[in-house]
Each structure stands twice: as C-alpha cells, then as structure tokens.
Structure 1
Amino acid sequence: MSTTTELTDLERRVRGRLAERHPGEECGDLRTLPGGHSGLTYSITAGPVSYVVKAVPPGRRAVGRNDVLRQARVLRTLAASPVPVPEVIAVDEDEPAWFAMEFVDGEAVEPVLDEHRLDPGLCRRRMLALAGVLRDLHGTTRTETVEPLDPAGELERWSRTMRAVPPGLRPGGEDVLAALAAHIPDGIPPTLTHGDFRLGNVLCQGERPAAVVDWEIWGYGDPRIDLGWFLLFTDHHDFPRLGRAVPGLPTEEELLTAYLDGQPEPPALDWFRALARTKMAAIMGHNLRRHREGRHHDPDQERLPPTIAAMIRTARDILARRS
C-alpha cells in the first residue's frame, strides 16, 4: 500500500473521530509538522479547534520510539497531575495506530543551544519554573507495571550506545565508562521519568511552562537520571562551538535548589551529572557517525567533535573530584 493511500486512510479515521467531537463542523487536512524523532506528527483542525496527531509510520511496528500508544498512556496518566501536558482526545489502536491531542500554543526554546531572541531574564524564569515541574513529575504516582531502570541499567544502555561510536569520535570514552562502572550508586525509589527533560521539550507561554512534550522515552526509574540531564543545560561552555551565552541563566546549584524546594539533596548526584554528559557524548557521537557514514547527511554534525570531547572530559573530571 502506498504512503499516499496510508495517509488517506489515516486522514479518514482521524476526521471520523473528530467529527464525533465536533458534529457539523468542517475538519481540515492532515498537515505534517516538522521536527520530532519518532512516529509521524501532523496538525489538523476541526472547526476553530486545532489538534496534533501522532501516528505509527506506514509499515512500521508500534515499538520503541514509534509506540505512540505508549505516549498517549503517559499523557493520560499525567492529565490529573500538576504536570502540564496536552489533553489526549482520541486514541485508535487499529494499525497504523494513532492518537490525537490538543494543540498547545507556545515556544519550545533551549536557551543555550537554539537560535532565539528571548530576553535572558525570561529564559531564567522559565528554567526555574520548570524545576518545579520536574519535582511534580517525580512525585507522580506509578500506574503501570513496568520494570524500573536503575543506575546500572541506565549505564549499560548508554555504554552500548557509546561503544557503537568509533573510538576516534569519542576520545576518552572508555575511561569515563570505566569510572562510572566503578562507582555505580545504589538506587532510590523509582518515579515517573521523562527521559529528555529540558526547556527545549516544553511549550512555554510567557514564563509559564504550558505543556511538557516529547514523551517518546518516558519510563519509571531513578529520578536522578532526569535531574542530572536537566542540570546539564545551564551553561553554554558545556557545548563548545554549539552553545550560546545567555546572561543570568540559573547555575546548576540554583536550579537544583529550585528543584529540591527545601528537601535534602539526593545522594550521589555527581555520578548522574557525569552520566548525563556521557549520554550527550554518546548521542552526538552516534549522530556524527551516521553523517560520516552517509546514512544521514548533515554537514552541521561536523560541529560536534569539540562538544563530544568536552562532555567526556568534564564527566571524567566530575567523577575524579568525587572518587
């Protein structure tokens, strides 16, 4: 079946469900939304209301990043929580599966990485507000039976990704993996985790986080995994040739204080700060390898080597100070 036929069938199914919600009102066409790294993402209107549709690509199985139904489940789990998420309004499990959610207007800008003209003070207030959202997320009650990912499992996962990158693209990578493996901390009670929690994955309206999006790799696991990743995006110096200076952004210490809100700091947090840098190096190394092998041509990936090296070096430095 052709992609055009698949889209026509998807459009028919989506329109049918929206017509039930908006009787007598005209539905628009499915329009592809740019960006995203999983499934297919479209916008569609029903009368004056806009929606976002996420669907499994034609011919693909609903697994991993393409498991859009899994994303719909976590959004519904969070609907009654303090964590702002789009409302899921329709789910269709027939192949290819899809779900529709409300369209949330807002800006998703990562201050130290994205091109933008936002006021630095606004960026600071958004980041501090988002620390409270992460705290709320980690306080959400578990509703699914999922094997939680502990620190050892998280390290194993990213060690595989790092070692799939040619050694020349990850200088010092083996050393930092060995240092992490030598000091794996004990786990703490698992919570709901986003997996890529940062301002670039949050739609903001003014200084208010309006919706946390991009839930492709959510799970139940050690909340310090999310926290270490979130703290990484405070300083452009962590991203040579990529980062941009934003005066007044919260420091890691300020952001951590906002997240803790008077509670004690969790143990062994530096290990997770180092893990976050190792994870970033592995992701960037993977993307650079794909470019150089011709699997995904993107000359912009050639800017990554200094940041990959810096991530590995600073991860090693953090661990050395605590050993």
Structure 2
Amino acid sequence: MPQAAKRSNDVPGTAPNLVHPAVVNDDAVRTALAQHMSRISGSRTEITSFGRKSSGFSWITYAFAARSALGGDRKLILRVGPPSGLFAPYSVLPQVHALQALAGSGVPVPALVSSAQDGAEIGFPFFICEHIEGDVPAPWAASELDPNHKRVIARQFIEILASLHRINPDATPFASQAQGADRAELRAITGWRASLARPTARYYPLLDWGGRWLEDHCPLPPCRTVVHGDFRIGNFIEHKGRIVAILDWELTHLGDPHEDLAWAMMPTFNARSRKLYGVLERAEVIELYQRASGIAVSDRSLAFYEAYALYQAAAIQMCAVRAFEVDRFNDMRLAVMASQMPSIVRAFERALEAAA
C-alpha cells in the first residue's frame, strides 16, 4: 500500500504542513488477528503463516493460516481497508452483504468467516473469508493462454454474471439500503463528478461536460438487479478449468445490469482487445448473456454504460494522479497513470458520440 503524506489546511505564505497518517503495520495486524481468531473460535489460535497477497491502491489482502486446538489448520484470507487508501474511508458492508447473500447461489463466492466495520481487534474495517485454491488470471497476460481454455472460461464468466442478475434483489441486504427512488448509478456519477472537480495539475473540459451529459441522459434500467460494480477479467479465481470464486465485491449495489456488462467488455480489462478475454465477440457475449439471464440488452443502454465505464475509469485514474501530485503518495505507479489519461479521454469522447 502506498504511504501518503496529506496536507492540512494550508496557510497562505507558508509551506504546506504535511501530516503522515497511520500506516498499516503487518506485524501488528498479525498479532491482532491472532487475538481476533482466538476470540471468535473460542480457542487459542496461532497464525502459522501470514503475508500480503497484493500491493494495490485500495484494500490490502493477506493470506494466512490459523491453527487452533479445536479447529485444526485453516487457510484464510484477510482484507483490510487502510486509513490512507486511495478511496478511504472504507466500508466493509457491501462485501459482507454480497458474500452472505450469495452463499449457496449460482454465483461462486468465498465463505465469510468474520467481519467488523469498527475494526474490532485489528483496528481497521476488515473481513475474513475462506481461502479458495486456484489462480487469478491477469488480463494483460491473456495472450499466453490457450484460446479454447479462454473461451470456456469466458462463457462461464458471462453465465455467472447472468446468474447474479437473476437473483431477486429484494431478498438481499442491499434492498434495505436502497434510498427510495434515488438511483445508485446517478449517485455514483455525481460522486465521480465531485471527485474530478477537486484541484489537480490537469483539467479535461471533456470530462467536465461529459459528466453532466451522463447525469442528464442516464437511461432507466430494464429491471433492478444486484450489480457487482467491478465484474471483469482478473476479478475471479479459476481452478482446473472452472471459475470457483468471484472476487472484489466492494462496489456492489442495486442498479442497471447493463453497467456490469459494459464494464466487463472494456478493452482495458481484455488485453486491449474488443473481444471478451480476447476470444468472445461482442455479439456472442450479448447473445449468451440474454439467453442465460432472460434480460433483453438495450443497444442504447449498453452504449451509455460503455461511455460511463470510461468516465469512471478516467475518474479513478485522476484520483491516482491527484494522490501523487497533491496528497504526496510516494508511489511511482500513480505518476505513470497521468500518462494514460489522454488515451482514456479520447476513448471516452468516442463512446459519448456512440451513446448520444
């Protein structure tokens, strides 16, 4: 996780006062995790292995093994929402609600073990789930895989998305969080517009205008479904030719199913290919999804959400750029993202023309 130095309120004529926020200490997390596992298991628990699985910009993921006299050895995963993450403060609830609601459904998810929004012993929002054996395919390495294997996985991927969208949303915890007629997709566009309005060294007029256009032209959904929010190649585990778990449910909400479909087909997540996983043509994806979900895909809505996907990608990139240039995150990967902005903005412009 990149460490950050955030500014306090600057006083004109003085140097910025840089305040270093709390940093997640792996050794402290391991010690606290042993205490937490001992409490919830009712037996003294030892953490026999422990290590970070990722160095991303958001949630921190740890793999560990817990050994207790009552339960033996268990391989588990811990995800922590750090105080200095790119999108802090974090809520563990969307992920917890998703894992609870989808257990035993046609959507494979890891079994939830424990969670705490207030941090419990660990000190930060977290959840613990079962470890799932398998590999997480990297989108940019797709060309190295056998095309027939990728086709099998891509079809499973779409069938699982259809299964997710067939779930009755009113039977999930997300239904109680829906704010009447207030639509999650409109709230999200408003939030990204506010994020892009924050001061940076760069200003893109097209993003300013495009955000207003998206807000004014957001289509009504054909139905309200559970939306994953980040359903893409790279967010699942496969094992022996099967997708055994869908990951990263932190953006889950009730909304328009076209949002997931458009996000999944972005070339960014498909090794820059217009084909899903580099093998499934757009028409084949839509046909398979419609047949499996029973939801008719609207060309107009899909075009809108393809534009929205690029707008969201641009907003996320600008969050990273701002973190480096303004908030002083010392991670050069964030600086590199600034060079990617022109191509994203050009793609967004083309997508807006297609959606208009």
TM-score range, shorter chain: 0.7 to 0.9
Shift of 1:102: 1.0
Which amino acid in 2 is paired with 1:75?
Answer: L
Give per-residue Cα distances to partners, 1:208-228, cap 9 Å, x unaligned. 211011112212222222221
If the length of structure 2 is used for normalisation, what is the TM-score?
0.73
2:70 equivalent to 1:43? no
2:251 equivalent to 1:251? no
Distance 1:235 1:116 in 2: 10
Which amino acid in 2 is paired with 1:253?
Answer: A
Q: Is the 8 A contact 1:88 1:100 kept in 2?
A: yes
Which amino acid in 1 is paired with 2:302?
Answer: L
2:291 equivalent to 1:261? yes
1:113-124 equivalent positions in 2, closer than 5 A: 113-114=140-141, 117-124=144-151
- What 5-or-longer segments of structure 1 have no aligned partner? 240-244
Distance 1:254 1:154 in 2: 29
Q: Is the 8 A contact 1:41 1:55 kept in 2?
A: yes
Distance 1:84 1:295 in 2: 39
Query: Which of 257, 267, 284 is matched with 1:223 structurally?
Result: 257
Q: Is the 8 A contact 2:92 2:116 kept in 1?
A: no
Relative to structure 1, the CA distance from residue 275 to residue 19 in structure 2 (aligned partners, 3 Å threshold; closer, same or farther) is same
Shift of 1:13: 1.9
Aligned match of 2:312? 279
Query: Which of 32, 49, 68 is matched with 2:92 structurally?
Result: 68
Distance 1:164 1:124 in 2: 42
Distance 1:81 1:125 in 2: 21
Distance 1:83 1:173 in 2: 35
3-state SS, counterpart of residue 66 of structure 1: coil
3-state SS, counterpart of residue 229 of structure 2: coil
Distance 2:280 2:353 in 1: 25
* Number of residue pairs aligned between Structure 1 and Structure 2: 311
Aligned match of 1:77? 101
Which amino acid in 2 is paired with 1:219?
Answer: H
Query: Which of 240, 244, 248 is matched with 1:210 structurally?
Result: 244
Q: Is the 8 A contact 2:94 2:251 kept in 1?
A: no
Aligned match of 2:190? 156
Distance 1:221 1:89 in 2: 27
Aligned match of 1:100? 128
If the length of structure 1 is used for normalisation, what is the TM-score?
0.80
Shift of 1:256: 2.3
Aligned match of 2:111? 87
3-state SS, counterpart of residue 48 of structure 2: coil
Aligned match of 2:325? 292
Shift of 1:200: 1.1
3-state SS, counterpart of residue 43 of structure 1: strand
Query: Which of 173, 177, 191 is matched with 1:146 structurally?
Result: 177
Q: Is the 8 A contact 1:151 1:187 kept in 2?
A: no
Q: Is the 8 A contact 2:109 2:244 kept in 1?
A: yes
Relative to structure 1, the CA distance from residue 116 to residue 101 in structure 2 (aligned partners, 3 Å threshold; closer, same or farther) is farther
Aligned match of 1:129? 156
Q: Is the 8 A contact 2:64 2:77 kept in 1?
A: yes
Shift of 1:108: 1.6
Distance 2:272 2:278 in 1: 14
- What 5-or-longer segments of structure 2 have no aligned partner? 1-21
2:134 equivalent to 1:109? no
3-state SS, counterpart of residue 52 of structure 1: strand
Aligned match of 1:242? none
Shift of 1:203: 0.8
2:72 equivalent to 1:52? no
The alignment yields a C-alpha RMSD, in angstroms, of 3.5
Shift of 1:85: 0.3
Which amino acid in 1 is paired with 2:177?
Answer: V
Relative to structure 1, the CA distance from residue 162 to residue 259 in structure 2 (aligned partners, 3 Å threshold; closer, same or farther) is farther
1:294-313 equivalent positions in 2, closer than 5 A: 295-305=328-338, 307-313=340-346
2:37 equivalent to 1:11? no
